Amino acid sequence: MDILGVSKIADSITNIVGRFIPDKNQLAEVKADLEKSISNGEIELEKIALEKDKLNANYRVELLQKLPVPFILYTFLLIIINNSIISPYINLIFNVQVPILPIDENLYNLIGWLFGSVMAKQTVGKFSPNLFKK
C-alpha cells in the first residue's frame, strides 16, 4: 500500500522522462531510483507540494490583477460603439429611441489612466524585456 502516493508521483515523472528515454529498461531503472529516493526522504514531497501551492497562489493573484483591466476597457469600448454606431442607426432606421449610455467623467479618467499604463508597460517592455519578468 502506497501511503504517500510515491508510485503515482514516480509514474507521472517517468511518463515525462519516458519521452526522452526510449529504452524501457532504463526507464524502469529511473522509476525504481525515483521511488527509492522519494521513500528515503531524499526528495521531500512536502516541499514540492508547498512550491506547487505557492505557484498556484501567485497565478491566482496575477489573474486577479490582470482580468479587471481588459474587462473595463472592453466595457468602455462597448459603450462607445453603442453611443456612436448602434444607437444612431437604430434611431434612424426604426425610428425608435435607443438610450445613449452616459460616460461619467470618473470612468473616462479611469480609462485614460488604464490605457496609458498599459501603453507605458508595453513600450517599456519592448526596450527592456527583463524588467517585468520575475
Domain ranges of the chain: 6-63, 67-127
pLDDT exceeds 70 at position 74: yes
Sign, Cα dihedral of 84, 87, 92, 98: negative
Q: What is the pTM of this model?
A: 0.46
Which tops the pLDDT comparison, 116 or 128?
A: 116
- Give the residue from 101, 85, 103 showing the smallest Cα distance to 93: 85
DSSP 17-42: HTTT---HHHHHHHHHHHHHHHHHTS
Average pLDDT over residues 55-74: 77
pLDDT of residue 121: 80
Which tops the pLDDT comparison, 76 or 57?
A: 76
pLDDT exceeds 80 at position 14: no
Which tops the pLDDT comparison, 29 or 133?
A: 29
pLDDT of residue 35: 76
pLDDT exceeds 60 at position 3: no
The percentage of residues in the chain with a pLDDT greater than 70, rounded to a whole number, is: 84
Q: Which cell is 50 given?
A: 508547498
Average pLDDT over residues 14-33: 78
CA distance 10 to 16: 10
Name the burial class of residue 34, with classes exposed (0-12), middle (13-18) and buried (19+) by CB atoms within 10 angstroms of its CB.
buried
Please report which confidence band the pLDDT of residue 85 belongs to, taking 50, 70 and 90 as the band edges. very high
